[in-house]
């Protein structure tokens, strides 16, 4: 292990993640995003802003026989995504590019699924991080609307967009959707019972006209507070992190 990287294991050791020791590090958000994608074997998937590949690899381990591609603007992170794919045993193709200026081979393709974990913060909301990789991952210079636009363009008719975002940016995310996307579903993710949601998952289907659905919150942790260093995820959520389960409470099927 090099001094500036760590080698982490996810999904019960099924996914290998090399990532920077300092700066932006993949968290539970990427695992939850992957678990929310209703992909089926044989389908095609594109992840925008794939970082070190965490979400794409978790999805590919859960659903076999996917054709998975990723786009990452930071060359060092893209290289780590390729390395992680090899060590995990997943065929992941990663392009080093801005999501607003995809290379021709991706611009000319359509996908069954597009997933993304766009930066959570607006550039205007605070100073840039001293770590460039962390700054791009958490804020970046690409507006949220551009993420949605690129995703929408790359989806097939009937294809599914899945995104995770901070709850306070849900209005921005919904405002970025247009008439090309429908059957919009939002799943709030609450840390504990009775606590406000910090994150939301959003799914939408290209060309669908089904009405908007706000799901009951998914509570991640058991009990009113954290009592020890031990993991305290609720059993159905622990299945996502340990046994490659799909996310409970979010059973949309893009083929319906």
Over the stretch 133-183, which tens digit does the pLDDT of each residue have? 444 444 467 899 999 999 999 999 999 999 999 999 999 999 999 999 999
- Contact yes or no for 86/93 (Cβ under 8 A): no
Residue 236: inside a domain: yes
Residue 220: inside a domain: yes
DSSP state for residue 120 in the 8-state scheme: S
- Contact yes or no for 163/117 (Cβ under 8 A): yes
Chain centroid to CA 159: how far?
A: 16
Provide the pLDDT for residue 139. 45
- Contact yes or no for 11/58 (Cβ under 8 A): yes
Structurally, how many domains does the chain consist of?
Answer: 1
Could you tell me the CATH number of the domain that includes residue 120? Answer: 3.40.50.150
Residue 135: inside a domain: yes
Residue 242 in 3-state DSSP?
helix
CB atoms within 10 A of CB 174: 15
Residue 256: inside a domain: no
Residue 137: inside a domain: yes
Residue 153: inside a domain: yes
CB atoms within 10 A of CB 110: 14
Provide the pLDDT for residue 154. 98
Give pLDDT < 70 ranges for the chain.
1-2, 121-140, 225-230, 251-256
**What residue has token string 């930071």?**
74
Provide the pLDDT for residue 136. 46
Residue 75: inside a domain: yes
165 has which bridge partners?
200
Residue 143: inside a domain: yes
Q: Radius of gyration (Cα) for the chain, nearest Å? A: 17
Q: Which residue range forms the structural domain that includes residue 82? A: 5-243
């Amino acid at each position: 292990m090099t001094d500036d990287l760590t080698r982490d294991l996810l999904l019960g050791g099924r996914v290998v993640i090399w990532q920077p020791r300092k700066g932006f590090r993949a968290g539970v958000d990427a695992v939850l995003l992957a678990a929310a994608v209703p992909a089926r074997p044989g389908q095609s998937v594109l992840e925008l802003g794939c970082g070190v590949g965490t979400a794409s690899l978790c999805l590919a381990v859960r659903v076999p026989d996917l054709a998975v591609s990723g786009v990452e603007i930071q060359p060092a992170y893209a290289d780590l995504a390729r390395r992680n794919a090899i060590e995990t045993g997943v065929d992941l193709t990663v392009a080093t590019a801005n999501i607003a200026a995809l290379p021709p081979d991706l611009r000319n393709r359509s996908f069954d699924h597009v997933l993304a974990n766009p930066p959570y913060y607006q550039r205007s909301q605070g100073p840039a991080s001293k770590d460039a990789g962390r700054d791009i991952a958490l804020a970046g210079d690409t507006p949220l609307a551009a993420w949605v636009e690129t995703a929408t363009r790359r989806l097939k008719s009937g294809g599914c967009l899945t995104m995770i975002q901070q709850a306070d940016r849900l209005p921005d995310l919904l405002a970025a959707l247009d008439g090309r996307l429908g059957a919009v579903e939002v799943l709030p993710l609450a840390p504990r019972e009775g606590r406000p949601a910090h994150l939301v998952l959003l799914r939408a289907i290209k060309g669908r006209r089904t009405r908007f659905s706000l799901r009951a919150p998914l509570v991640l942790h058991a009990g009113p507070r954290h009592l020890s260093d031990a993991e305290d995820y609720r059993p159905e959520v622990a299945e996502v992190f340990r046994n490659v389960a799909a996310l409970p409470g979010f059973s949309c099927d893009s083929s319906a």
